[in-house]
Structure formats: structure tokens, C-alpha cells
Structure 1
Amino acid sequence: MAKYTCQFLDTAVSYVNQIPTQLLYSPIAPPGSPPQANTNAIYTEDLFSRPKPKYLSKSSTDEKLAKVLGTSTAADLRSLEVEATKRLPEMKRRLKGTQLGFFEQGIVTSLVFVLTTLVSGTGLLGYYGIRYWRS
């Protein structure tokens, strides 16, 4: 039975009644990277990292800071302070009552299920009650 099941499992290796002792105390080495003798370091750093390009671009704030750090006059520092302390734009919030939020949707959904069950159960009970009463 186990041999038959293992034939159809999509795994790199499968063991039936003979598990190697190394697997009892250590995870198996990843494919393509055999374990080294006399070491416990099965996973290398290369297995967990992948080179990715990063694109950096300078923002307008970086240019202003570089200009201020190079030639720091009182007027430049004052203009930078005014810009840093100016009021942030107000966040747009949705109007109350126009849309349901996440939890409100859950409450409405559960109420629909409860009311559907209650109405159909009451209707079914009434149908069989009237039928029983008339017979």
C-alpha cells in the first residue's frame, strides 16, 4: 500500500519503513545542494538570497538638503524650516453612511443568513403545523 501511494506522490524522495537516521535529527538538504560531511550547515546563504536590481532616484528634498548643507545661510534654513513645518493636506475620508465597512459587511451577511434561516424555518414549521392540525 505505501509503495503504491509513493509512486503517485510528487516528491523528490519518499521513504517507506526505512527512514535514514540523519533525517531524524536534521532536515534534508535542498535539491542540488548535497549535505557536506562533518557539518551541520545544510543551508547556505545563497539559497535564501537572489540578486535584484535597485533603482534609486534623487527626490527634490534631497537636492534641497544638499544645497542647504553646502551653503547654509539663515534664509535657506528658514525656508527649509517653513517647508518642513507646513500643514499637511487633509486626508480624504469616505462619507459616513455611503458604504459599509469590513465589520459592517460581516454583520449584515450574518443577519441575512440568520433571517433567511429563521423565515424558512418558521414557514416550514407553519406548513407542517397547519397540515398536522387539519388531519
Structure 2
Amino acid sequence: MAELSPFGVRVASGTLREDGGDGVVLPHRWTEEGVQAGPATNGAQVLHLAVALCVLNDVYREAQRLEVPVHGVAVSVDGSFDDVWASTGIDYDIRLDTDAPDPTVQLLLEVVEEVAEIPRVLRAGADVRRRLT
């Protein structure tokens, strides 16, 4: 996985977890040892963690549905911002530890690209506003 910017994050589970890495360990329904996630020291990283965790979760969910064995998942997410803090785009990379053949892995990744909810919301644009009391 590529070097991350100060806004980049990584989440990992199973055989692709790195003990002692940046971040925290979060409980996870598909992995006994949880998901290592981080860093989360600024708002940009928290935004990127939302994407990373969503993609990781959807890899497990869709792999189960497609009967693809998954031993580990690592997702790195990075992006940048312009001078007025508008995102210039978010990129993510998925690494899998699986015994599945490459065509099956590619199908899984295509399905995840289509169904991952947080990336879909961000692609569509979200109206964020302060609630007036």
C-alpha cells in the first residue's frame, strides 16, 4: 500500500492486521480480534476512516454472500483538500488475503465498489447543515 498523507488512514483485520500500528482496535462482527483503525487525530482522518471501515465491512459482507474465503482485509484511504477545505477527492485501496482465484476476487471488489454505502453517499453529495434550535 502506498505511503499515506497526513490525512490518510488504514484499517486492517485478520491476517493483515499489524500489531502495534497506529490507531485503535475496534470490535468487529466478522473477526475475533477486531479491526485495527487509525490514525484518527483530525477530522479529515475521521472522514477517511468512515470510508475505510465501510469498505472493509462490505468486503466481509459481500465475501460471505459470494462464498469467498477471506483471511484478512486491509483498506487504506487518503485524500486531499484545497485552500478552502473542499475535498479534492478520496482514493482507497483494498488488499485481501484470500485463497479465491483472481476472477472471483475481482468480482468481489467490483461488487464492493458498487454497494459500499459511505462512498456512495459521498459520491452523491450530502447536504450537511447545523440544526437550529
- Choose between structure 1 and 2: higher helix proportion: 1
- Choose between structure 1 and 2: higher strand proportion: 2
Whose radius of gyration is greater, 1 or 2? 1
Please state which band the TM-score falls in when normalised by the shorter chain. Answer: under 0.3
Q: TM-score, normalised on structure 2?
A: 0.19
Q: TM-score, normalised on structure 1?
A: 0.19
Structure number with the bigger relative contact order (C-alpha 8 A, sep ≥ 6) is 2
